[in-house]
Structure 1
Amino acid sequence: MAGRKINPWLKMALDLGPVVVFFIAFVRLKDATFTYGGTEYHGFILATAIFVPLMVVSTLILWRLTGRLSPMQIVTLVLVVVFGGLSVWLNDERFFKMKPTMIYLFFAGVLGWGLMRGKSYLALAIDEVMPLAHEGWMLLTKRLALFFLGLAVANEAIWRTMSDQAWVNFKTFGLPVAIFLFFMVQGGLFKTYGIEEQDEGQSPD
């Protein structure tokens, strides 16, 4: 059942707002240290502690306004709470940095499992948004699964070898830009396998 439509700018604010707030909080707090209960917490942990509840609130607001959440949104929220909570609880930023890796590996695994069964789970999630022929969905799903694997590898490489600032920049700007560019370069696939044009019998380059 399709959810209720909301203002696209409001949706964007709810989707990206927590990430932007995390970035601002990190920039302001990255050199600070706070003591609570006899334990010292650095700015990264405090920024994470702000991000997790804000992500929960923004997702709940989105659910109340639209009447539904996609499986991707639900999985993302659960992993944010689990890995972000572990980082704050154990005072160890590595858990939060691993969170994108877990998210992208999970999505790649789910899409790959569907492909092995001859199905596109991506089509089940967004078919109403981008109607494609079955062949188009299978090809797009394969490409997206490989793309998610690439993002997981990139995240691991960056947080393990670069500074906190570099990783935060990657998470805040690099990941959204990479996803945007991925779908932009799929224009040939959408044109070839779009429902309106599937009778032309063309193949993507």
Structure 2
Amino acid sequence: MGGQGKTTIARKVYDKDMIVSRFDVQAWCIISQSYNLIELLQDIFSQVTGSKDNWDKEDILSDKLRKNLIGKRYLIVLDDMWDCMAWDDLSLCFPDGGNRSRVVVTTRLDKVGEHVKCFTDLNFLPFLTPDESCKLLQKKVFQKEDYPPELQDVSLAVAEKCKGLPLVIILVAGIIKRNKMEASWWHEVKDALVEYLDHESVE
């Protein structure tokens, strides 16, 4: 599910100086639901080589990317992958030179995770508990202060409606802060969350 912080965690690791220093080249590529393989290959190739050259044939570009990665320790992030075929198409370009290169895939779909599992370790991000959700919401809205007594019940209801998704809680906190002391505003946000997240789960 979106909103668990998969991309946020991957980006923090990707940008960390200690990680950057361990690899010769890095590339970050977002895989959309309707991806264009040529564009994905071109994006990764340009990050790996610094070249802005364009090719119009997948096999030529795939071969050039693979050859440029041979002998290098690389870190490639394929973010928000929706289709198993995207992994099948792209993974052929990543040579295994036994030099501890890494390919990180983030996805919200179990079927993609299970497919990629054959090639790499699989990790799941847990959802926040209602108590953890409530504490995160309190921290983002009131910082070090506790919830006012009149907001105790509605704050818990809002936190629960965020379904354990930390990024949703942070987004909701930003909205609530406009009128953070008004219980009617908290109820309005809670009702909007019910409508929005229920609609998202149906889709």
Point out the structure with max Rg over C-alpha.
Answer: 2
Report the TM-score when normalising by structure 1: 0.24
Q: Pick the structure with more helix per residue.
A: 1
| More contact order relative to length (CA 8 Å, sep ≥ 6) | 2
